[in-house]
Structure 1
Amino acid sequence: MAEHDLCITIIPYLDRHLAFPLLARLVETGLFPIEEVSAAQYELAKGTNMVDYAVSLFQQIHPDEEVPAEYDDKRQSAVSRHEKLQQEAQAVLDVIENPDVAQALRQDKLQNLAYLKDNYNLTLEQITALYNFGQFQYSYGNYSGAADYLYHFRVLSTDNDLNISAHWGKLACDILTGKWEIALEELNSLREAIDSRPHSALLSAAAASANAPIPVPEPALAQLHSRTWLVHWSLFIYFNHPQGRTLLLETFLTPSYLNTIQTSCPWALRYLAAAAILSRKASSATSNPQAPISSRVRNAIREVVKVIQMEEYQYSDPMTSFLKELYIEFDFEGAQRELKRAEKVVSDDFFLGEYHDEFLDNARYLISEAYCRIHQTIDIGDLSERLNLSKDEGEKWIVNLIRETRMGADAKIDLEKNVIHINRPPQPIYQTVIEKTRGLALRSQALGAAVPRTGGNAPNAPGAGASSQQNAPPAVAVN
């Protein structure tokens, strides 16, 4: 299943430190030769100040060769630079950690800078020492220390570009230390900054240290790049935070981020589909009324399937194919086949691996839901086979499903005949008409706005020809 692994695709959108966990996962899965993965780890480590780690990787790859002397020089240079930056940063920390200074600081950063300059001769350039030292600590793997220095820098700094860069650095530190609640707050704050400030500075300093340099683009393109990076970085949080899958749907299905995925990273559809599948059973259950489910999450499967169908020409894998076979082709045998392949993809995926059992449970629920929707009498053995379960396992699973979800109101099990009877009251004809005509008024209004109006002429009259129609909004947008 190596052809479906996304690590190589995702790593170019990560800081090199965030890429190390993905490569470590590849070592465990064995999808690629260990020599190639170790070589990739070494190439990333060479660009950091983690000299000892780089040396250990070099010895692992080249056991019969001596360690290059350049690493001794690099180690000495790193030590001396660390001491210098620490002295500069500590001079600033000694001031701002003074209880009297802490009480005097206010929300206004300009006022704080004026106060620090007048009373302690601290300038913005000296405060930047906190950023430099935090960045250096991050480069040699002290993520907790880097997070503290970057936080203090952002409290005082008025440099918008460096503040955004510190945002990215602090987010990476929180991810690498596993502080998911704090990381989620940092992610939301950074997302607000990106959405409100379309400027090239939104690209992080981490981007400059990635595998390939990124040219300075136009503001709108820079905003697209920043959102693309944020989509990839957010996967660490959304698949580790307790409410992460729901939050992923809330974020990725917004127009701006869905457009980003379709434009820049269609492979993120795997994680959008996975989140929709993992959230489906919870959104259908009624056992926990204290946790309200938004309409976007309840309708996530429907929205995701539409996007999958639209973007199939760009990206497809067993995860997206499973939803396609089930909801577009209505091919239960095809869905059963793709579910077997998707199970392996989930097991090997860095972000989805720990959700293997939950994914299978929810995917089987989707098959059961779709199957029961078009049948009134269902043979339990046949349904169990479509769920890739034995007859006994399938019977237990189906009984638990009916008990735990709202399907229990419509389904009754006949254990003697080993069948399920689905009893759905017919929908009133008035309700059917209402559902069919619900969007007609809005569609008519949109179509009316799309029709070119020139004086009193009809659309096909002179003055409303091809030239004017080309400037009208496409009618397909309201279909």
Structure 2
Amino acid sequence: MADYDLTRTIIPYCDRHLVFPLLAHLVENEVFPVKQVQGAQYELAKETNMVDYAVSLLQQIHPDEEVPEEFAGKRENAVSTNERLQQEAQAVLNVIENPEVAQALRQDKNQNLQYLKDHYGVTLEQINALYNYGQFQYTYGNYSGAADYLYHFRVLSTDPDLTISAHWGKLASDILTGKWDVALEELNTLRETIDSRAPSVPAFASAPSSSTTDPALAQLHSRTWLLHWSLFVYFNHPQGRTLLLETFLSPTYLNTIQTSCPWVLRYLAAAAVLSRKSASGALSARVRHSIREIVKVIQMEEYQYRDPITAFLKELYVEFDFEAAQRELGLAEGVVANDFFLGEFREEFMDNARYLISEAYCRIHQRIDISDLSERLNLSKDEGEKWIVNLIRETRMGADAKIDLEKNVIEINRPALPVYQTVIEKTRGLAFRTQALGAAMSRTPQAQPLGVQEEGQPALVEGAR
């Protein structure tokens, strides 16, 4: 499974603190040697202000060695810095937390700044102190406090670069505190901000900012980061898989996936499988038909990225090779079980994948051996019988399918369409297409018969003919 692990691929597009949960997951599932992963955790932690956490990791890696003295100095420096920044930020908080001030503030940030300056002497430097303290709280590991300070800063700040950086920091803080409804709102707000301008890479990110001056490239870079950060939200929020499909399949973000991060197709394909059985009713047409669109993208991007999850859909819907789809599904189960974002959905994924296989298999067969279908679903005979019975009971196949337990087969009787219905289906839209063709022909200039001379034009000679 290490060959299919995407942690090392995803890390460059995540903030340092968002990587800690990814590495902790690798320690739990032991895909890689634990000592190596703990070493990576320590290398990340020692560059933050989470001194105690870094020391605990160092002691796990080298239990017999003494803790270097530099950590004591770093701890003292972090405590003193925290106290100083807190005092600077508290002066502004005392003002904006006043009920009278809260009522006087309006939507116009410039008007609010002028009001605070005239009545309370609040300056831009004091407002920026909220950002500095919120950012320090984030590096300290106090994500809840960081979210509060960054929110207050964002309400007052007129600096566009610091404001969008606060957006990224607030989103990361909400993710790390598990506030998924709030994180989803922040994600949508940040996406709208990115789509309306070309911001730089988040200042909270541990990777260096993009040095490009091309607005389109900067916007592409920001959308790539947003796609990776959104995985934390979409695979934890109750409606996340459906929302992922609607976002990732939009032309803008689908183009981003194909251009800069094709490995995200794993999560797009998995979300389509997970949403398949519920793809009805209130869901949009884009979500209901998402698998068809995703399979086309998988075909186009196979030269860049391929794993058992994407290969499963390709074998099932492009090649119609059920044996190959069965093999890929067996591998896909292991990939899903070990993936940080998909691990909790293993049983649901397998259940939905078996549904897809059954749906495709029953669509092209009228008489199906239950044992054969059970084998293609990677189930034992008894498990397969129970699963197929529940499938027929819960889906629209129940009206057309009957189980013959003596012969151990499923018989599917699809009623033929009436003749008039067949004619309607085949001629649907014919009048519109005829009208469009006629309009196109009327706009096309009529060609002159060969050899006919228009006035003022030389006649065609025989050689030219």
Following TM superposition, by how much is the alpha carbon of 1:50 offset from its aligned partner in structure 2, in angstroms? 0.3
Given candidates 402, 405, 416, the residue that maps to 1:415 is 405
Aligned to 1:244: 240
Following TM superposition, by how much is the alpha carbon of 1:432 offset from its aligned partner in structure 2, in angstroms? 4.3
Contact 2:202 2:209 in 1 (8 A): no
1:433 aligns with 2:423: no
1:305 aligns with 2:289: no
Is the partner of 1:314 in helix, strand or coil?
coil
Q: Which moved more, 1:3-12 or 1:101-110?
A: 101-110
Following TM superposition, by how much is the alpha carbon of 1:440 offset from its aligned partner in structure 2, in angstroms? 6.7
1:79 and 1:260, CA in 2 relative to 1: closer, same or farther beyond 3 A?
same
Given candidates 211, 224, 240, the residue that maps to 1:215 is 211
1:12 and 1:368, CA in 2 relative to 1: closer, same or farther beyond 3 A?
same
Gaps of 5+ in 2: 449-465
User: For the residues of structure 2 that align with 1:439 and 1:302, how far apart are their CA atoms?
Assistant: 26
User: For the residues of structure 2 that align with 1:374 and 1:36, how far apart are their CA atoms?
Assistant: 50
Q: How does 1:142-157 map to 2 (within 5 A)?
A: 142-157=142-157
Q: How does 1:203-282 map to 2 (within 5 A)?
A: 203-207=201-205, 209-210=206-207, 212=208, 214-282=210-278
Is the partner of 2:306 in helix, strand or coil?
coil
Q: Which moved more, 1:258-267 or 1:432-441?
A: 432-441
Aligned to 1:113: 113
Is the partner of 1:420 in helix, strand or coil?
strand
Q: How many residues align?
A: 442
Is the partner of 1:49 in helix, strand or coil?
coil
Following TM superposition, by how much is the alpha carbon of 1:99 offset from its aligned partner in structure 2, in angstroms? 1.1
Deviations 1:85-121 (A, max 9, x none): 0000000000000111111111111111110000001
Whichever residue aligns with residue 426 of structure 2, its letter is V
Q: How does 1:427-466 map to 2 (within 5 A)?
A: 427=417, 428-434=421-427
Whichever residue aligns with residue 102 of structure 2, its letter is A
Q: Which moved more, 1:72-81 or 1:6-15?
A: 72-81
User: For the residues of structure 2 that align with 1:191 and 1:283, how far apart are their CA atoms?
Assistant: 25
Gaps of 5+ in 1: 459-479
1:114 and 1:70, CA in 2 relative to 1: closer, same or farther beyond 3 A?
same
Aligned to 1:42: 42
1:173 aligns with 2:166: no
Following TM superposition, by how much is the alpha carbon of 1:405 offset from its aligned partner in structure 2, in angstroms? 1.6
Following TM superposition, by how much is the alpha carbon of 1:80 offset from its aligned partner in structure 2, in angstroms? 0.9
Following TM superposition, by how much is the alpha carbon of 1:71 offset from its aligned partner in structure 2, in angstroms? 1.4
Whichever residue aligns with residue 257 of structure 1, its letter is Y
TM-score normalised by the chain length of structure 1: 0.88
Is the partner of 1:206 in helix, strand or coil?
coil
Contact 1:277 1:363 in 2 (8 A): yes
Given candidates 328, 332, 337, the residue that maps to 1:347 is 337
TM-score normalised by the chain length of structure 2: 0.91
Following TM superposition, by how much is the alpha carbon of 1:215 offset from its aligned partner in structure 2, in angstroms? 2.2
Is the partner of 1:198 in helix, strand or coil?
coil
1:378 aligns with 2:368: yes
User: For the residues of structure 2 that align with 1:98 and 1:276, how far apart are their CA atoms?
Assistant: 48
1:421 and 1:130, CA in 2 relative to 1: closer, same or farther beyond 3 A?
same
Following TM superposition, by how much is the alpha carbon of 1:173 offset from its aligned partner in structure 2, in angstroms? 0.6
Whichever residue aligns with residue 236 of structure 2, its letter is N
Aligned to 1:394: 384
User: For the residues of structure 1 that align with 2:245 and 2:437, how far apart are their CA atoms?
Assistant: 30
Contact 2:210 2:218 in 1 (8 A): no
Q: Which moved more, 1:422-431 or 1:100-109?
A: 422-431
Following TM superposition, by how much is the alpha carbon of 1:439 offset from its aligned partner in structure 2, in angstroms? 10
Deviations 1:25-45 (A, max 9, x none): 000111101111011101111
User: For the residues of structure 1 that align with 2:140 and 2:382, how far apart are their CA atoms?
Assistant: 54
Whichever residue aligns with residue 403 of structure 2, its letter is I
Task: Note the aligned Cα RMSD (angstroms).
Answer: 2.2
1:276 and 1:441, CA in 2 relative to 1: closer, same or farther beyond 3 A?
farther
1:175 and 1:435, CA in 2 relative to 1: closer, same or farther beyond 3 A?
farther
User: For the residues of structure 2 that align with 1:261 and 1:384, how far apart are their CA atoms?
Assistant: 36
Following TM superposition, by how much is the alpha carbon of 1:257 offset from its aligned partner in structure 2, in angstroms? 0.3
Aligned to 2:455: none
Whichever residue aligns with residue 114 of structure 1, its letter is Q
1:185 aligns with 2:185: yes
Aligned to 1:403: 393
Larger Rg: 2
Following TM superposition, by how much is the alpha carbon of 1:59 offset from its aligned partner in structure 2, in angstroms? 1.9
Is the partner of 2:204 in helix, strand or coil?
helix
Contact 1:199 1:220 in 2 (8 A): no
Is the partner of 1:320 in helix, strand or coil?
helix
Q: Which moved more, 1:56-65 or 1:400-409?
A: 56-65
Contact 1:402 1:408 in 2 (8 A): yes
User: For the residues of structure 1 that align with 2:243 and 2:25, how far apart are their CA atoms?
Assistant: 25
